[in-house]
């Protein structure tokens, strides 16, 4: 085979990465530093924002979590891990949440993927922006209001009232698990669609042609190329929705009738009803840790399945 007169090429001479693959071409140290200084200055406001609104509250919550509930409620300084030891008291809530969050995110994904796929790969170019806007714009109004709208649509004077006209009496849609799932899918759909849309939009269409060219049927192209390469978007959307669902309390309360108790509900009750801030804080800290774990796992999966790409949340 090698009698073709082919001369092995010195790859480095042509800028090849074969030997430099592990040490990407960094700029010189000096310029790197200068670049960092500028970057630092540019990022300072954002960093400050982060510190004031994320880090400090987190520290405050962490301090609360090792405190005690004052007799009249609230917080009283102490150094105890009793609150953490008490976490099993909300085990059901944790369990409900850990079951709901992935199921909700999955349901959301199942609806979002075809929509994102249509938008990115099938919709006529000139309609794309309009369709995208139609998906995003409702998101600008508060979730509370949109969920409230669903309360009326599913409530006795909404769909059941219409069904009563055709003789289906006393049908109850509101305050059912289905209503909660619907609310979750509806509420978080844009958050799931957008990252998937972005990753599909970024997808090099020629890869799809290359796949077809190599004999892959549309289905195996979808599975082997489209889906695989959109996984970072899928994982981003999934972890985003999942993490938000970990703290969700509004939708189960409004569309589920408050009969299903999630960690979010436990938090609301502890802060606003029984005013047990230390216990609430311990749960909040735990929730943050769980979220971090979810992100790390999602990132691992995404990295493994699609090469070097990462979940865009990190």
Partner 1 sequence: MTAVPDIEFRAVTKRYGAVTAVSGIDLAIPPSAFVALLGPSGCGKTTCLRMIGGFEQPSEGQVLIRGRDMAGTPPYRRPVNMVFQQYALFPHLDVEENISYGLRQARPRLSSREISQRAGEALAMVQLAGYGRRKIHELSGGQQQRVALARALVNKPAVLLLDEPLAALDKKLRTDMQIELQNLQREIGITFVLVTHDQEEALSMSDFVCVMNGGRVVQLGQPSEIYDEPADLFVADFVGKTNLLSGKVAGLSGDLVNVALADGTVIAARKRVPLSRGEAVSVSLRPESLSLSAPGSGALKGIVRNRIFLGSTAEYAIEVQGIGSLLAKADHVIGQGNLFKPGEPVAIGFAAGAPLAFPHAKNNGTNQREDQNAEILP
Partner 2 sequence: MPKSYRDGLPITPDKFVDQLMRLKRGSISRRDFLGLTGLGVATAVMARELGITPTPAFAAENLGDRMSIATWPNYHDPQTFENFKADTGVAVEVNVFGSNEEMLAKLQAGGSGWSLFVPTNYTISTYKKLGIIEALDMAKLGNFDGKSEDARFTAEGTIDGTIYAVPKNWGTTGFAVNTKKLSKPMSSWKEFWDTAMAEGDGRTMVHDYQLTTIGNALKYYGYSFNSLKQDELAKAEELLLKVKPHLFAVSSDYQPGMRAGDAWMTMCWTNDGAQLHRDIPEIAYVLGKEGGEIWTDFYAIPKDAPNKPAGYALLNYLMNPKVAVKEHLANGAPSTDARVNALLPKEVLDNPILYPAADLLKPLEFGAAATLTDPGRAELMARFKSA
Return the residue of 34, 35, 157, 300 that touches partner 2, per CB under 8 A. Answer: 157
Return the residue of 220, 258, 289, 314 that touches partner 1, per CB under 8 A. Answer: 220
Q: Is 178 in the site for partner 1 (CB under 8 A)?
A: no
Query: From the CB of 24, what's the least distance to partner 1, in Å?
Result: 11
Contact 224, 211 (CB under 8 A): yes
Return the residue of 36, 40, 217, 274 that touches partner 1, per CB under 8 A. Answer: 217
Q: Is 40 in the site for partner 1 (CB under 8 A)?
A: no
**DSSP string of the chain?**
-GGG------GGGGT--TTTTTS--PPPHHHHHHHHHHHHHHHHHHHHHHIIIIIHHHHHHHHHHTSB--TTSS-B-----HHHHTGGGGHHHHHHHHHHHHHHHHHHHHHHHHHHHIIIIIS-HHHHHHHHHHHHGGGGS-HHHHHHHHHHHHSTTSHHHHHHHTT--S---TTSHHHHHHHHHHHHHHHHHHHHHHHHHHS-HHHHHHHHHTT--HHHHIIIIIHHHHHHHHHHHHHHHHHHHHT--HHHHHHSTT-S--HHHHHHIIIIIS--HHHHHHHHHHHHHHHHHHHHHHHHHHHHHTTT---TT-
Find the angle CA(257)-CA(260)-CA(261) to the nearest 5 degrees: 120
CB closer to partner 2, 4 vs 273: 273
For helices 177-202 and 227-246, give the axis angle rounded to 10 degrees: 140
Q: Is 117 in the site for partner 2 (CB under 8 A)?
A: no
The structure tokens listed for 28 are 């010189």
Return the residue of 59, 136, 161, 210 that touches partner 1, per CB under 8 A. Answer: 210
Q: Is 219 in the site for partner 1 (CB under 8 A)?
A: no
The structure tokens listed for 143 are 């979730």
Return the residue of 65, 68, 83, 90 that touches partner 2, per CB under 8 A. Answer: 90
Q: Is 184 in the site for partner 2 (CB under 8 A)?
A: no
Q: Is 300 in the site for partner 1 (CB under 8 A)?
A: no
Query: From the CB of 97, what's the least distance to partner 2, in Å?
Result: 10
Q: Is 214 in the site for partner 1 (CB under 8 A)?
A: yes
Query: From the CB of 208, what's the least distance to partner 1, in Å?
Result: 9
Query: From the CB of 102, what's the least distance to partner 1, in Å?
Result: 24
CB closer to partner 2, 34 vs 172: 172
Q: Is 74 in the site for partner 1 (CB under 8 A)?
A: no
Contact 225, 208 (CB under 8 A): yes
What mask of x and - would describe binding to partner 2 in positions 249 to 268, judged by CB under 8 A?
A: xx--xx--xxx-x---xx-x
Return the residue of 62, 153, 222, 228 that touches partner 1, per CB under 8 A. Answer: 228
Residue 216 site contact among partner 1, partner 2, none (CB < 5 to 8 Å, cut-off depends on kind): partner 1
Residue 9 site contact among partner 2, partner 1, none (CB < 5 to 8 Å, cut-off depends on kind): partner 1
Query: From the CB of 84, what's the least distance to partner 2, in Å?
Result: 16
Query: What is the binding site for partner 1 (CB under 8 A)?
Result: 1-2, 4-9, 11, 14-18, 21, 204-207, 209-217, 220, 224-225, 228-229, 305-308
């Amino acid at each position: 085979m090698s009698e073709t007169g082919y001369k092995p090429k010195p790859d480095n001479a042509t800028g090849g990465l074969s030997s430099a693959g592990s040490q990407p071409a960094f700029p010189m140290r000096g310029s790197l530093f200068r670049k960092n200084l500028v970057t630092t200055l540019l990022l300072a406001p954002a960093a400050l924002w982060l510190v004031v609104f994320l880090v400090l509250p987190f520290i405050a919550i962490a301090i609360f979590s090792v405190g005690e509930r004052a007799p009249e409620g609230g917080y009283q300084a102490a150094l105890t891990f009793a609150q953490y030891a008490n976490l099993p008291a909300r085990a059901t809530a944790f369990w409900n949440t850990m079951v709901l969050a992935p199921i909700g995110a999955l349901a959301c994904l199942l609806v979002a993927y075809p929509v994102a796929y249509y938008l990115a790969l099938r919709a006529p170019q000139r309609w794309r922006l309009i369709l995208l806007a139609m998906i995003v714009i409702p998101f600008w109004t508060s979730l509370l209001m949109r969920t409230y709208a669903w309360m009326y649509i599913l409530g006795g004077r909404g769909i059941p009232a219409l069904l009563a006209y055709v003789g289906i009496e006393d049908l109850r849609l509101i305050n059912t698990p289905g209503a909660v799932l619907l609310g979750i899918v509806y509420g978080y759909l844009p958050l799931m669609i957008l990252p998937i849309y972005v990753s599909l939009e970024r997808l090099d269409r020629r890869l799809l042609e290359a796949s077809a060219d190599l004999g892959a049927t549309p289905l195996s192209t979808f599975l082997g190329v489209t889906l695989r390469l959109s996984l970072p978007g899928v994982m981003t959307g999934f972890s985003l929705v999942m993490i938000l669902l970990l703290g969700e309390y509004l939708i189960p309360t409004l569309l589920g009738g408050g009969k299903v108790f999630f960690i979010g509900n436990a938090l609301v009750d502890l802060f606003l009803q029984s005013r047990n801030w230390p216990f609430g804080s311990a749960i909040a800290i735990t929730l943050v840790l769980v979220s971090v774990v979810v992100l790390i796992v999602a990132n691992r999966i995404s990295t493994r399945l699609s090469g070097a790409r990462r979940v865009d949340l990190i």
